[in-house]
Structure formats: structure tokens, C-alpha cells
Chains A and B, each alone.
Chain A
Amino acid sequence: MINFWWIIGGVLFALLNTAAGLIWVERRMLALWQDRYGPNRAGPFGLLVVLADTIKLFFKEDWIPPFADKVVFVFAPGVVMLSVLMSFVVIPFAPGIIVADLNIGLLFFLAMSSLGVYSVVLGGWASNNKYALLGAMRGASQMISYEVFMGLALMGVVVLSGSFNLGEIVEAQRKVWFVIPQFIGFLIFLVAGVAETHRLPFDIPEAESELVAGFHSEYSGMKFGMFFIGEYLGVTLISGMLVTLYFGGWLGPAFLPPVLWFVIKTFAFIMLFILFRASMPRPRYDQLMEYGWKVLFPLSILNLMVTAAIKLWLNS
């Protein structure tokens, strides 16, 4: 049992620090790709900017607009933190380092990540602000749409591994990482993952150039900080899932411990997310929906059917 609490503590500690550290990482990386320096004043390499940001967020006036729905307004940022952290419960970081080894781990992940949309909708609704509401509406429709083929894309992996248990899915990739047989599935999941975390280029619910700051326009202080951290946790989560489902999880040559492999692979995807942000323009809202329903959705069904057909053919 002690072991179990250590794992929970360790995972929480690592995740929250990662999320916080990503503040710095993202800004430095973006700067690097844009020929700037990024934060380089506070501490070595500007590392203490994380601390500075945190302190700033803590001491900012925690303002609740008088026109807001107060209970929901306070509740909304908690939802995003909770749902993302709960998703991490099922991720196998290495053999034995997993909080809860559920046999329906993948479904649990889908369920939890879908709950995240509530925070966007509730936050935007409770703010009682037209921009926030518009952001929330966009967020809701975007997440509902991309949820569909995210799930469908994952079914390919489930068909190949024959299990919903994430540990077993990783083990099933000992021979070949699923990214090769499931390349289309991987692409679809990647796109859906970006949309799920509403990261650029799919940050349509925030869209600061049109909607001020979208659903969290009215948020300040630590409540804004929760949305902020929630987003970075989401990035980490999707990266971790990509690694688990398509890139062999903790698997790798034995000169490094399995946990480290997992971390390295995850970080590579986080970098990819940041590169997306640095290089891609935001699509129009209708383009996003059209792309999702008219391209990705048929493609994911096709992928599932072909995978299933091949699997049936091989089995027979």
C-alpha cells in the first residue's frame, strides 16, 4: 500500500512540476523558433520565470465579476484540473508505475478527457460575457466533434491489441509500434488530441485576436492559473497517450530505464505541440468543423474498417 501512495504522490508531483515547467519551456522554445530569447532574466536561463509567474498569479486580485454566476464561475476551472489529472490515473509510465491498472483504461481516458469540455462550457457560461460565451460555444462544438473520431481512431489500436488495458496495449507493441500499422489512426488521434486540448492551431475557443481570451476572458488570478495549468496538463496527457498507444510506451533499448524512455518520448511530442503553435495559423471555425466531419470522420471509420478487415483476414 505504501508503494501505491508513493506512486500517486510521485505522479502528481511529476505532473504538476512538468505543467509548471512547461510555462518556461514553451516560451523558450517559441522564442527559439522565432529568433528571440524568451524569458532569460529571472534565474539561470530564466528558469525562475515559472516561480515569478506562479507568485504573480497567486497575488493577483482574484476577481469574480459581479454579473457572473458565482458558484459555477468558481467551479469551472476546477473541472479542467480534475478531469485531466484523473485521466493520468490509467497511464502506465513504466511496468508497475501506474496508479490504477484498469482493464478499460482507454475508455476511462476517453470519458475523463470528454469531461474536460464542461470546464470550458461552464466557465464561458458563468462569465456572463459575450466573448466568453462565444468561446464556450465554440469549445463545446469543437470538442464534441473531435471526440467522435478520436474514439474511432483509437479503436484501431484496440483491434490490433485486443485490449482496452493500456498496459497490455504497450506490451502488444513489443514487436512493432502501432504507429506503423496504425499510421492514419495516429495522425487522426494527433489532430484530435490537439483539438481536444484546444492548443494552437485549434485554439478556437480562446482565439485572442477575435474573442479577447474566449471562455476565460473574465478569469484572473489563480482561477485563470488553473485553466493555464490545465492546458499544459492536457498537452502532457495527449503526448503521454500518443506515446502509450502508438510509440510503444515505456519500451525501448535497455540502456535506459523504461520510465525515462516514456519521459523522453513524451517530451518529444510536447515539443511537437509547441512547434505546431510556432508554425501554424489558426483555421477559421467553419473550416475546422468541415475538416473534422468531412475528412477526419470518414477517414477514421475507413481506418477502423480496414484494420478490422485485415485483422479478421489474418485471424481466419
Chain B
Amino acid sequence: MPIIHIDNKAYEVKEGKNLLEACLSLGLNLPYFCWHPALGAVGACRQCAVKVFKDEEDKKGKIIMSCMEPVKDQLRLSIDDKDARNFREHVIGWLMTNHPHDCAVCDEGGSCHLQDMTVMTGHSYRDYHFTKRTYNNQYLGPFLNHEMNRCIQCYRCVRFYKDFAGGKDLDVFAAHNHVYFGRQQEGTLESEFSGNLAEICPTGVFTDKTLKQHYTRKWDLTSAASVCQGCGLGCNIIAGERYGAVRQITNRFNGAVNGYFLCDRGRYGYEFVNSKQRIKTPMVYHGPLDKANGIPVLQHVQQRMKPGKTIGIGSPRASLESNAVLKELVGAENFYLGVSAADHDLVSLSLKILQQGPVRSASLQDAAAADVVLILGEDVTNTAPMLALSVRQAIRRIPVAEVINQIHMPAWQDAAVREAVQDNKGPLYILNVQETKLDELAKGAYHTAPDNIARIGFGVSHLLSSKMPEVKGMSEQGKAIAGEIAAVLKTAKNPLIIAGYGGGSEAIIKAAANVAWSLHDMGIDAMLTYTVPECNSAGLEMLGGHRLESAVDRALNDEAETVIVLENDLYRRLNQHRAEQFFGKVKDVILLDHLYNPTAEKATIILPAGTFAESDGTLVNNEGRAQRFFQVFSPDSAVQESWRWLLQIANTTGHATLSALEHLDDVVDHIARSYKVFEGIDTLAPHAGFRIAGQKVPREPHRFSGRTAMQANVNVSEPRPPQDMDTALSFTMEGYRGEPPSSMIPFFWAPGWNSVQSVNKFQVETGGPLHDGNPGRRLIEPHVNGHTPFYTEVPEPYLPLREHLLLVPLYHIFGSEELSIHTPGIAERIPAPYIMLHSEDAKRLQVTEGHLLHFTDNGHHYTLPVIVNDTLQEGVAGIPVGLPGMQISEAPQLIKV
């Protein structure tokens, strides 16, 4: 490892880095703007100037940009040199000439990289007295606010938006000192990752618009480490609260999961926590003859818990703890998984493949390092958005790896490398029912029905492995595609196969497994990613339980009187008519949930359950990674964690094992002991008794304000702050000020680094893992050295039937998820319900775009407006899943028109 001398002190640094990265990794303070660990260096801002010296005798030295200079052994440089310091101060001075006097009304203030760097360079007095340049702003949609005056031309936004995230509608315009970062026309930013601009922008040009609705400075937020509930990927987030409302979601760096970025659903989908539809108090439905008024709600629950006739329905969006406690409370034989039949089949199959097969599941960062990507039947951008970003990185990175050897440039030389790469992309193949956003990057993108996709997958595995049977009756085109994909996969080192719930087909999932396993048999280190629909789908399946359908059957057979529904809207899980039958039959429905939903209308007892922001718990993501999320704030209503409600119920009914449990640690330890698959989840985060220097870790920064005035309008005597008995975090600003364990970092802050860029100080090296390891623990590891259980049953090809359409599910990043649609900005972007047809089908059915199509299914009548899309196969119709107003939950299925 090379040794470099910084200010006459020798340091050992890592090879292949630039000087800026080296200095920051050593914990030294060196200002920068345009460099970003994920984006590389372009040397645009001139801020990271240092002085380098030829040798020990050289006293004069020369100023260079540290981000453009690679680490060399025995290099001598000075950060503290007077000339370098002056240079940096003057650069800030120039940037400031046009920077407006806005900090007081700027949302970035207090978490602003420009503020931090200005203080760091010591530029404290404005000596520019002339006019300032101004710009008109643009409306950029419901997520981002645009304030162009504040721009310092670091180009980070376009480098992220265009180069990194593949957006097309944000660019730099105009010339010389008039450059403008925006859209060609006003309008909503199209990229699903636009929200990251708020963190990428070093100052307040792009700021979080949802935060602006209830603006709070970073120092006033009560924050906690949390895990995104938007999809099954389990991105790490920090949620911040003030005055009882969640105000902002920011990225929480996890080097193995989401890295520096989040998707817009994850970043903005939090507002259901603050929704007016929240259930805040326990409610008991009283019949006219019911004389039970005034009795504590738990006694009502107890009265209705009939032994042997009480069933529990778990939820894929509830924590592992809540589900496990419910399972224990009602008994394993009475516990049903609250997921639709299709989701259950797909997720349990995926899990089985990952647990029993020899190929490991890929984390998001593993995915970004793949060298060939094959996506089977999945519109990743909509079903698992951050995975799409990882795929983009993989595709971007592959030609870079080739080109840097030719041009002798390190990969962080962003501009030079991009120039050399030009439009070269890595191999990506997509097979999906219709076009997807990633198609533009793909070497090959083919659109056909799910079963045909699976057949091509089987075809590929046949070409890779002799163990697989030949697919009979494959079309010439299909053979060509399979041949092309197989040829590329054979050359790969660590290819990634992606499939999942989005295709709605078990055959696709099996085909993906076959491909990955065949590659594994060939000695290729293949990776497999299955998407799962919800944040704890994988956890729920691992916990295990009966199918939801059998719960309905049981109720219809009069074998269930009381049903406890955990954080679930059964109308989203069951066909509406089945759900009506079910609720018509059971006597009591006890619902624990956050929001009023159709299920709540059928409930006889409603208990207010805490959302992710009001609960502690554990989630398992699609990779099989268990991650702990922490309660952000203590609600002032009766809202509490579902598992706590269930423990209290267990206490009133005198349940033998559950009565002994009280706090989070008890429950977690109990689960880790009781289930082999969950071994180790008790080590995800420190226990509640954990202290650093005798202190808890505070959720509030030391500058937190207003403690003695926040509640003074209610009562001038301040109440005792809430106590956290479940975790080692405190709800106040008192506690240990240093760096907490990586699994429970409530906010990123370091002296002099108030903005999100302070994450540097928590990492082993810039862009590297957090200091004591990336949080989370993989619960699923591949079953190597065993017999590989290939799937050999090839599905029949799908051929269009007269008078019939195959309905396939189409997912939307904004709309398909149940809770995020409560954010007004996301609601704005939900598409209206539709049915998507091929133009030939449309012609045949005599409809055109916008017409209403009537069709019947199981004797029920549906009407949907038509959208024509020729990338669908003929005979296939797409319907969006989960949108408000959509009634069908079962897809794919064949319907008669």
C-alpha cells in the first residue's frame, strides 16, 4: 500500500484512489463539491485544491485539484498550506458572488454542503458588492422544488440524473456564466430517482418539496434508523419527526443495500403516517344490545377470543415481531398468511429456490457489480425501483472496466472514462410482457406472454446445461433469443438473473432458477434476485402459515368465529366477493392497522397499530437480509406497535409463553430461539441495555430546539420525555454524542459536516462500508454441494384464444403500493385505472384508446378504459395492480370478453 505524506505526516492509503478520497478516508477535512463517491471526479468546482511537492526539499510546490490526482507512493502534499487555503477560500468567494442571501428561507439551510464548506474554508465575509445573476425557476413536479439562483455549477445534478440514473429530462442549458440546470420545459421530472437530487445537490437548488409542506431544519428532527416500507428491497432510510408528524425521509447509507440513493416511492411515500385517515384510538363496535361500554378495550378483545375458533391473519407489511407474536397467540394451526394466493405461491417458491438451490441471492450492491444481467418477466423499475438503479450501474460499469485498461485511467476519472466509453453498454437482456424503462439499455428486449418468457428461460438453460430438457415447439425467434442470451451468459463471470412477483408466473421464477443453476453448474458465479411484493413478504413466508384461502374456507365452514387481522386490508388480498363472504361469516373481526380501509369497516374492534415510524421491528427483504428498524417518535395517542398490542392481549388471556415477554428484546430473542431460520436476528442491533460511556444514543442532535416551548401551549410544565424501554436509543437530545453502532445511526452528523455528506465520517473509506460493518444479516445462504433440484416441466406456449384475453399484472411505482399512495405528491402521479391491449385485439374488440371496455369475470362485471400498446403480445391484456379504484386482485388469469 502506498504511503503518502500529508502535511509532513505519513499515512498509508489505498491504491487506485484519488487524493481527495484518500484524505477524506483518513478523516481529514478537505472541501469539495463536484466529486461524489458514487459519481467519481470531474474536477469542475476547483474546491479541493491542495499543494503537492516534488520531494522533501521542494518548498514551493504547486496547487493541484486533489480529486484529479491519483495516489502515488511517497507523494507529498499539504492541505494546510497557506496558498492552498487561500485558493480554496477564494474559490468559495467566487461561488458566493452569485449565491443569493437566502439561507434563512432555504430548505437546505442547516444541512447544506455549501454552508459547511464555506465555514470550512473560512470564507466568512462577502467582499463582492456588485449585482447578482438571477434565474427563473421551473415547476419540476410534486417532489422537488427548484431554486436556480442558488446554483454553484458543480454539475452534480446532471451527472447523477443523466449519467447515473439514466434520466433524460434534466439537462444543462445556456452558456458561459448563464448555465442553467433544468428541464427543456417546465414539468414533472420523469425519473423515479429524481428525489436524490435533493441530497446530491450540494446546496438548495433542488430541495424536497414534501418537506417544504411542513418544513423543519435537520437539527430539529427527532430521527431514527429505519427501513423503507415501499417495496421488498429493504432500503435503509432515516425518518425524521417533529411535532408528532414524520417530516422527511433521507437516505441511510448501507454499503450492501441502497448505497447513497433511494427511489421516489421510498423517499416520498411516508406521508401515510401523517394521514387524516390514521386510526388513533382503539374502537369497539357496539351493537344496540351491547352493554359493554366503558370496559377497557383489551377486555373486549379477551371476551371475543374463543379458543379454537380464533384465527389470525398475518401481514407482509407488518414486522416479523408482530407476525410471530400473532402466530404464537392464536397458535400455528390458526395462523394464516395475509397475502393473495398468487403472491404466496410466487414468494414461497422464490424462497425455496434461494434456500435449497446453490446460487446465492444478490444484494443491491452485488447486483450493481454483475457483468451480465438477464431480467425475466419483471418491470424492475416499477416492482423494485432501486434494483433498476443497480442494474443501470452494472450496465454502465461493465464497459468502464474494459476501457480503463486501454486508456490507463482510474475508474473515478468520470469525464475521461465517459468519453472513452461513449455509448457502450454492458449486456442486459430483458424478457417482459411489455416494454420497460430499462429496454433502452438492453442488448435485447423481447415482449411476450409470461409462459413464453418462461419457455425462453428454459430454452436458455437447456443450451447451458445438458441436464435440462429441450423446449419443444419453440419458435424460430424464441430459439434465436435463447441462443443469443446463452452465448453471452457463457462468457460471464458473475451474471445476475432477475425475476420475481412482477411476472406473476411461477414458471418464470423456475426458469430463472434453472438459468442461474445451470450457470452455477458451469462454474460461473451466478447471482439470483427475486423481487418480492412487500417490505416483509419474505419474512412472513419464512415464518410460515396457512394460505389465506383456507382461512376463508374455514370461516365458511363455521370453524372460525373471531379473526385477528394484522395490519392488512383483506380486500387487497382476496377477490372482493370472497372477502365479502368471509366477513359476512365471521362474528368478530379484530383489526390492528394504521389507516381506515375497507377491512376496518368490517371490524368490530380496531386497535391503532404503529406505523414504521412508531414501532420497532425487523423486516426481511428479498435478499433474505433481516434488518432492524427503530421507532422514530413516541406518539401521543394510543398508537403502539402491533406486537405490543398482541402481547397485551396475550397477557389478558393468560397466554403461557407470551405473558412472559414485554419488550422488543424479549420478543426478538424469543423468535430467534423458536425459529431456526431466524437465528441471529437478536444480533441485528444492540440490545436495549446497550450504553456507550454509560449513555444511550440520542435521537435528537445536540442543537435540537424548542424543548421547553413545543408543548407549552398545552401545559407550561414540561412533561417527562418519553422513555424508550425497547432500544438503546433515547427520545431526547441527551446521550452519547459520538458515533453509534452502524445499525442504529439515527442521523449523519459530524463536527463541521451538517449535510448528508457527513456520511464520509461514518465510513471505513469514502463509498466503503460503515465503520462496524453494514447493518443487517443475511438469513438465507445458498445450499451449495447438494443436489441441484432443476425444474424440468416446461410450460406450454401461450397462444391467443378467440374471445379471450390473458390478463397480466402491470405494476406502477406510484400507485401499486398500498401505503405510499397516501402521499399527495405520489397520488398526483398515479395513473388512472386502465386495461392495456394490443392494437389488433383492440381492433377485434372494436375499441380504441380511451374507450371503455366491459368484460365479465366470475359473473362480476368490470369496466375499464383502454390503452393501446403494441409491445404487448396479441391476446394478452395488461391491468394495473393495486391502484385505488381497481377491483381485480387475481392476475394473471384468462378472461372471456
**Are A and B in direct contact (Cβ within 8 Å)?**
no
